[in-house]
Amino acid sequence: MVSETSGIHHVTGIVGDAQEAIEFYTGVLGLRLVTQTVNFEDILQHHLYFGDAAGTPGTVLTVFPDPYGDDGRVGRPQVESVSFLISEDSLPYWQNRLEDHDIELERRERFGDTVVQFQDPVGTHLELVARPATEIDASALESWEYSPVPLEHALRGIDGVTTLSVNPYATASLLETLGFEYVAEQGERVRYEAPGRRATRVDILTRDGPYGREGQGTHHHVAVRVEHEDELHEWRDLFDDRGYDVSRVKDRHVFHSLYVREPGGVLVELATETGGVALDDGDRAAEPSIELVLPEWFEQDRDLIESQLPKLHLPETISK
């Protein structure tokens, strides 16, 4: 029988240039490039995973680089933004760091937290949410010692996402089915939380607005955590019975997943919990690496794949 989900597994966006994404997410935000692999639906496209040292679910942002794709437009129904958690004491550091990289910031208060809003090089909406260190549970995370960001200021994983829905009530209904509970609302923002220890918040914006367009600078989907593959099949049957647009269960090498397009239009993935999504054969030494990692069923096409993908490198700011 299906059980409630415990929070966000990862968020996936669409960017332009793969190297530019690496420079920003590792060189500026200090995340580890956990894995360089390919989009399993298009093996001639990169899929880059960024997160803590192990790629612990709840810390991971992944991107599909699409250098020849059109610019996207943020709107309904999409994940509007993803927020990363930082210690309140690190707020001055991050404001200075982002400004030193000529990144425009907007600071605001939300549910008692200070939020710093900014964008990546192609306009993807990102946030830092500052919270007292005593309220942050980072015990399950593995800091990456080679990061250009000092350990005391490192991102503490994903805090949550903000969604734009064409039917906020339907989106809320799906969240409740997945185990999220209503906790508060502020203006046009309604907050739901999962019962887990990290990456638990999903905000629904109830405002009307233009429709979005998938492309560079937009988030593609948000994934939530489930414990076992067997649960995915049960979830699939449940969604299918309710008439949702749901995929088959898919093997993503280090986790299994399925995708459901909820009636509010937001694409949600359910992904199995793992100790980490690093595709480096269990090497958690987490030394800087840029190797292209492929699951065994793509190895026979490695020469073709490598010949079609641009060569990538880590920023010079990554310590070795």
Total number of residues shown for the chain: 320
DSSP string, 119-132: E-TT--EEEEEEE-
Q: What is the pLDDT of residue 320?
A: 52
List phi, psi (to 5°) of 28: -100, -55
Question: What are the C-alpha distances in Å from 299 to residues 106, 186, 250?
Answer: 45, 50, 18
End-to-end Cα separation, the chain, in angstroms: 47
152, 126, 139: which is closest to 50 by C-alpha? Answer: 126
Residue identified by tokens 């955590």 is: 225
49, 43, 52, 53: which is closest to 62 by C-alpha? Answer: 49
Q: What is the pLDDT of residue 302?
A: 96
Q: What is the pLDDT of residue 287?
A: 63
What pTM does this model have? 0.95
Q: What is the mean pLDDT of residues 208-225?
A: 96
pLDDT tens digits along 16-75:
999 999 999 999 999 999 999 999 999 999 999 999 999 999 999 999 999 999 999 999
Handedness of CA 160, 258, 240, 73 (dihedral sign): positive
Band the pLDDT of 144: cuts 50, 70, 90: confident
pLDDT tens digits along 251-270:
998 899 999 999 999 999 99
Residue ranges and CATH numbers for the domains of the chain are: 7-308 (3.10.180.10)
pLDDT tens digits along 189-212:
999 999 988 999 999 999 998 999
Largest CA distance in the chain: 54
Q: What is the mean pLDDT of residues 110-136?
A: 96
The C-alpha atoms of residue 199 and residue 265 are separated, in whole angstroms, by 22
DSSP string, 181-225: EEEEEETTEEEEE-SSSSS-EEEEE-----B-B-SBTEEEEEEEE
